[in-house]
Amino acid sequence: MKKVLLTGISGYIGLHCAVELLKEGYAVKGSVRSLSKAEDVTNTITKFIDPKGALEFCELDLLKSEGWEEAVSDCDFVMHVASPFFSKIPKDENELIKPAVEGTLNALKAANKAGIKRVVLTSSMVAMLGEVTGDENINDNSWTNVNAKNATAYLKSKTLAEKSAWEFVKDKDMELVTIHPGPVYGPTLSGNLSGESMTLIKRIITGELKQMIHASINMSDVRDVAKIHVMALENEQAANQRFIVATDVAYSFKELATTLKLNGYNKVATMLAPNFMVKFLANFSSEMKGMMPYVGKKYEGSISSTKDIFNWKPIPFDKMILDTAKSVSGFLNM
């Protein structure tokens, strides 16, 4: 049985990746910041599949080099999912950039030393936004200009982490595959609603969010994201490529809200917030400032290579959004 070091196993995407790996017959070594999380993670995963002894844990810190070599020493692949995420703008952008870059390099250095032949890295469409001005036709050759006016700390962190990965492997006997979701939705396995995606859906369906921002981008189902992560481990054609894993076309947050409204979520507001208001509020709110790369803009990425190489079709947008709302509602006891 081939074993995968899966970093960030306790996260929203990480849990889905763990379940998908176990379903496909891989053994999983999941990294957590503290082994105290291992029991909760095991209990969550066991609700969806019996690990049958194929699940273990190790303790790793993105900012510390200790433990990485030992963690990867008995593994066949590395799936590096762990990365910091905040929509709010931190006071110091290095709070995001440093752990993203150093964690990626710690994973790759350890994998290289252990002779791992392929690493699958979770990147993001935000590493592909060009000059961050909208109306970008995004593909696997697109890169975000980290010096662009609207490039936030999060955009920089994902872009610089991925660039550091490609730079590291270019002269190594190692293959890299990067996975690029847009905003990620879909059911939560753990019931943790504190993440950005779950928080947004919770605020929308409870009526707390009164207006949507005017923005469009390809959106991603977490189940698709996990599936392609796992398929990328051994697909020969995937070597050294970047893959957008998202809907065929860009969708707006208004379309997201409207889908919910039309399907019985009566508290949902579908009114758009005026762009000038969001820009004004960004002067006072770090959360609003974090949305500025998207306000009034549309980003659309091509998923043609992902569909072709993996013989894959994305989960339909309506199903993704409604399954997310159903999952969130269940944990809210609505």
Pairwise CA distance, residues 127 & 69, whole Å: 28
Flag whether pLDDT at 280 surpasses 60: yes
CB atoms within 10 A of CB 287: 13
**pLDDT class for 279, splitting at 50, 70, 90?**
confident
158 classed as catalytic: yes
Pairwise CA distance, residues 113 & 94, whole Å: 27
pLDDT in tens, 71-110: 999 999 999 999 876 556 667 889 889 999 999 999 999 9
Task: List the CATH number of the domain containing 24.
Answer: 3.40.50.720
- List of residues 6+ apart from 333 with CB closer than 8 A: none
Residue 277 or residue 206, greater confidence: 206
The first and second tokens of residue 163, run together, are 């660039």
Report the SS3 class of residue 276. helix
CA 27 to chain centre: 22
How does 83-95 read in b/e, with b if 16+ C-beta sit within 10 Å? bbebebbbeeeee
Q: Are strands 136-138 and 118-122 parallel, antiparallel or unpaired?
A: unpaired
As for how many domains the chain has, the answer is 1
pLDDT in tens, 169-210: 999 999 999 999 999 999 999 999 988 889 999 999 999 999
| Domain that residue 311 falls in | 3-332
Residue 196 or residue 322, greater confidence: 322
pLDDT at 124: 97
**pLDDT class for 135, splitting at 50, 70, 90?**
confident
Planar angle of CA 262, 267, 270, nearest 5 degrees: 60
Flag whether pLDDT at 131 surpasses 60: yes
- Of the candidates 131, 119, 42, 44, the one whose C-alpha atom is nearest the C-alpha of residue 82 is 119
Mean pLDDT of 265-282: 87
Query: Which candidate in 3, 23, 91, 158 is catalytic?
Result: 158
How does 246-282 read in b/e, with b if 16+ C-beta sit within 10 Å? bbbebbbbbbbbebbbeeebeebebebbeeeebeeeb
- What's the mean per-residue pLDDT of the chain? 94
CB atoms within 10 A of CB 305: 16
Q: Alpha helices of 234-284 — where are they, by DSSP H?
A: 253-261, 275-281
Report pTM: 0.95
Name the helix (H) or strand (E) containing 29.
strand 27-32
pLDDT at 281: 72
